Amino acid sequence: MVVRSTRLVLTVLRVPSDYCLNKIATFPRKFSSLSREIKLFWFFLAPPQMPKQKAQKKQLKSYKLKHINRTIQEGDAVLMRSSEPGKPSYVARVEAIEATDARGSNARVRVRWYYRPEESMGGRRQFHGAKEVFLSDHFDLQSADTIEGKCKVHSFSSYTKLSSVGNDDFFCRFEYNSATGAFIPDRVAVFCKCEMPYNPDDLMVQCEECSEWFHPSCIGTTIEAAKKLDHFYCEECSPELENLDNSNSTSKNTDAKVNTKRSLEVSKTRNKHAKRSG
């Protein structure tokens, strides 16, 4: 039970002399003949006011998208329609789903955006993969009708082990701060003489002696020639008269000497790329 104390209110009313008495019928009759300026003391007990309750939004565990005949749930990676014609679909992660009507026939999704390298402050760099995205700190609320389909965002290590990459496959190895352009982690391993982080789309060859990896272009050969190598020694490890020509060996032990480095995981060293544009 809510009880509020009695309050004393002083009200000053100025009533015109020609004011019709039936217009002030709400006042006590004895006040009707008083002068223009009447001082009234009203004592009243204000009625209790209950706090307004906001209508609670109905949270959904899953929601069926009728326009693509797919069901989404929290944690799913989705492709969302771009606001600019000709641009690829946005990639996002569904954080929550809420109904916009009592029946749950329409819904909105709270999403966390993935940014592509070209959307970051530093832009796309040589070591960025074609299917690489960054998990940002940018959240948004969108209509579920803007979802064009579902996709899969792999971890970096999982992506490097895929035997084939589909149109809906992406990978993420960084979190991205959209305000400052900072990355987490801010360090990744570097390879080759060029000291660049690993791009899983690039073929690399491994030295049999020191186990270091190299880009074909950095050791003066082509991708086609590198694919035919049976053995490879880098300049520091090769014997005095041996170089890439020693690859004519008839040995068939080629299991890990030439590959796309899909089994290598990143360790955490410095990543020098930075920032994002809006």
As a whole number, the mean pLDDT across the chain is 76
pLDDT score at 90: 96
- Interval 35-50: pLDDT, tens: 444 444 444 455 556 6
Please give the structure tokens belonging to residue 270.
């410095």
Look up the pTM and report it. Answer: 0.64
Q: With beta carbons less than 8 A apart as the criterion, state whether 231 and 256 touch.
A: no
Q: With beta carbons less than 8 A apart as the criterion, state whether 97 and 59 touch.
A: yes
Residue written as token pair 């690039």: 202
- What is the C-alpha to C-alpha distance for residues 194 and 196, in angstroms, rounded to an integer? 6
| Positions of E strands within 194-240 | 196-197, 204-206, 213-214
pLDDT score at 146: 95
Average pLDDT over residues 61-88: 93
Structure-model confidence comparison of residues 141 and 25, the more confident one: 141
Residue 206 has pLDDT above 50, yes or no: yes
- What is the C-alpha to C-alpha distance for residues 75 and 96, in angstroms, rounded to an integer? 8
Helix (H, G, I), strand (E, B), or coil: what is residue 188? Answer: coil
Residue 116 has pLDDT above 90, yes or no: yes
Average pLDDT over residues 257-273: 36
Q: With beta carbons less than 8 A apart as the criterion, state whether 243 and 143 touch.
A: no
Name the residue among 36, 144, 163, 38 with its Cα closest to residue 97. 144
Residue written as token pair 């955490």: 268
Average pLDDT over residues 126-133: 94
Average pLDDT over residues 158-164: 91
Structure-model confidence comparison of residues 48 and 137, the more confident one: 137
Name the residue among 137, 124, 131, 144 with its Cα closest to residue 81. 144
pLDDT score at 252: 33
> Does residue 200 have a cis bond before it (omega within 30 degrees)?
no
Average pLDDT over residues 26-42: 48
pLDDT score at 101: 83
- What is the C-alpha to C-alpha distance for residues 118 and 102, in angstroms, rounded to an integer? 41
Distance of CA 155 to the CA centre of its chain: 15
Q: With beta carbons less than 8 A apart as the criterion, state whether 213 and 190 touch.
A: no
pLDDT score at 102: 78
When pLDDT is cut at 50, 70 and 90, the band that residue 147 belongs to is: very high
- Interval 214-237: pLDDT, tens: 999 998 999 999 888 888 888 888
pLDDT score at 48: 58
